[in-house]
Structure 1
């Protein structure tokens, strides 16, 4: 099973919009940074626009953040691109005649719910400002070593 990268790609896209705000922000340029196709970028931008995290004007290459970075949490971004999909899923097809197969769904469900709750709380506390600040710190470290 392939793990979705929409969430990290959406964070990447939003950080890119902030850091490169003074450039032409085409879907091709953003796609080159994410190393994906412009179609994927446009699809993610559409989800972010519906969630009111960005604004766009048809026919222009200037998408903008709809709110200050510190007012956009990673949980907002997650919900924008993943909806309310759970982070973890229990296999519903197990052998009910087996001790493990007959009980694994109910046992794992609570552990998974606890993990989901903790992850959502952490994502809610982390803003895009935190991400952009960390990106700039990392770049400064790289620049210092050159």
Structure 2
């Protein structure tokens, strides 16, 4: 009888141990620094350095970034119509998390970004590995 009781306790303990859920890494990944809805605020043209509002530029535009850490999905709408969507990854060549490069998978382009004063500043998109000398800068406000 004692052996039956002992075996039952052992089986119960084994089942109890295996029923516990284990965390694989114990980490919670932070969201991408770009996560959220962004609305075009101003455009600064590269050659003239003239800054105009979105209304003066003649269109409205919004961006949506979703994801964790340094990757996620992206969606762009202009005048309320979807323009494009893609997955993206981020790179921070100088360290930190407020300035870097966005790589878009859909069309193999890249775009420099900077986060400052609650705004997202984006340069013109270019094919990966190229440099644009006098491109415009687009400033977006978070919604």
Structure with a larger share of its residues in helix: 1
TM-score by length of 2: 0.23
Which has more radius of gyration? 2
TM-score by length of 1: 0.23
